[in-house]
Amino acid sequence: MILRGIEATRYFAKPDPAKTGLLIFGQDAMRVALKRQEVVAALIGPEGPAEMRLTRLPAADLRKDPAALLDALTATGFFPGPRVVLLEEAGDFATATIGAALKDWRPGDAQLVVTAGGLTGKSSLKKLFEAHPNAFAAGLYDDPPSREEIEATLKASGLSGIDAAAMADLSALARDLDPGDFRQTVEKIALYKWGDSSPLSSADVAALAPASIEAEVDDVLHAAADGRRDEIGPLMRRLEAQGASPVTLCIGAMRHFRALHQAAAGGGGGRPAFFGPRKEQMQRQAQRWGMFRLEQALALLLETDLTLRSASRAPQMALMERALIRLAMLPR
């Protein structure tokens, strides 16, 4: 059976202990590891690993000892309680062995949790779990986390009260950070709010969120987006003196203008969802530029990025400065 979207999120938080197994796969190893950790903890509890109710097997070991998987599933634990066998880094090479183990599984055996990287639609391992009547397959993709996923992360970290503005900021932050960094940020916020009964506010999130780029980089990008051409040169000199990379600057600029383009194109229900103390400034930028001009800006930045990464001998910082000045003049 297949788990998708909210259905998968709910199952990860409260898996069925009577099921045979679960396959979690995806290109992002961190996303897979976090969901695997959540499922295992929900099945066997926090004391499960210490009570030896968790058995971890690298899938590569099944090449030498195929019987090890079924032995682990049917073994009798020393401590009472549900057990989990975690098979890591599996692939289609292990489909036959896993299929045999699933076929011989009986109620009372350990539940099998399998992790894998990106699997194609033709993957035999993926098809095995999708077709099994008592097992699930869940694919994790690079989509931004849903509101329900963010709320589940907050709840797991002990945060319950949160106002609407803070939730909007966390949603924007979750799109900018990888899953591991986002969870660490939420845990840091939860520690900060420990013993404080007041709702989590937008100011709390802004004070504790990691900076995605340095303040000087932020300044030069806003100068370009606001059309303040004369400020770009001095800011670039400061960045160059600090050893900033032109490629890093270009990546930051592309991220900034993509966010503006998404807002101008009506992303988020027509309401721009920016994060941080400059969100109102970015909303004004998106309205000033418009979708067509922002598409031109992204094309210019893409061309600059390709030039920076090519074998061109042109001074890279000068190329980046020229691109930012052209951006500042573009809306005119």
Could you tell me if 87 and 111 are in contact, meaning their C-beta atoms sit under 8 angstroms apart? Answer: no
277 falls in which pLDDT band (50, 70, 90)? Answer: low
User: Same domain for 201 and 239?
Assistant: no
Phi/psi for 23 (5° steps) reads -105, 125
CATH code where residue 55 lies: 3.40.50.300
Residue 79 confidence (pLDDT) above 80:
yes
Q: Of the residues 140, 174, 190, which one is the last residue of a structural domain?
A: 140
> Would you state the pLDDT for residue 271?
46
Q: Report the pLDDT averaged over residues 154-178.
A: 76
Retrieve residue 198's tokens.
């007041």
Segment 220-225 long-range contacts (CB within 8 Å, at least 24 positions apart): 220/249, 220/324, 221/252, 221/253, 221/256, 221/324, 222/278, 222/281, 222/285, 223/324, 223/328, 224/253, 224/324, 224/325, 224/327, 224/328, 225/256, 225/257, 225/260, 225/282, 225/285, 225/289, 225/327, 225/328
Q: Report the pLDDT averaged over residues 50-61.
A: 92
Residue 34 confidence (pLDDT) above 90:
no
Q: What is the DSSP letter of 2?
A: E
User: Same domain for 15 and 79?
Assistant: yes
User: Same domain for 223 and 93?
Assistant: no
Could you tell me if 303 and 198 are in contact, meaning their C-beta atoms sit under 8 angstroms apart? Answer: no
Helix (H, G, I), strand (E, B) or coil at 89: strand
Residue 61 confidence (pLDDT) above 70:
yes
User: Where in the sequence is the domain holding 308, given as residue range(s)?
Assistant: 215-329
Q: Of the residues 90, 112, 140, which one is the last residue of a structural domain?
A: 140
User: Same domain for 153 and 96?
Assistant: no
Residue 186 confidence (pLDDT) above 70:
yes
User: Same domain for 179 and 308?
Assistant: no
Q: What is the DSSP letter of 15?
A: -
**Average pLDDT taken over every residue of the chain:** 85
Could you tell me if 12 and 42 are in contact, meaning their C-beta atoms sit under 8 angstroms apart? Answer: yes
Q: Of the residues 208, 236, 251, which one is the last residue of a structural domain?
A: 208
Residue 275 confidence (pLDDT) above 70:
no
39 falls in which pLDDT band (50, 70, 90)? Answer: very high
Helix (H, G, I), strand (E, B) or coil at 51: coil
Query: Count of domains in the chain?
Result: 3
The tens digit of pLDDT for each residue in 236-255 reads: 988 887 778 888 889 889 98
Distance of alpha carbon 65 from alpha carbon 135, whole angstroms = 23
CA angle 258, 261, 262 (to 5 degrees): 85
The alpha carbon of 108 is separated from its chain's Cα centroid by a whole number of angstroms, namely: 35
User: Same domain for 172 and 291?
Assistant: no
Could you tell me if 220 and 291 are in contact, meaning their C-beta atoms sit under 8 angstroms apart? Answer: no
Could you tell me if 251 and 311 are in contact, meaning their C-beta atoms sit under 8 angstroms apart? Answer: no
pTM over 0.85: no
User: Same domain for 75 and 98?
Assistant: yes
Retrieve residue 54's tokens.
């968790």
The tens digit of pLDDT for each residue in 279-297 reads: 778 888 988 898 899 999 9
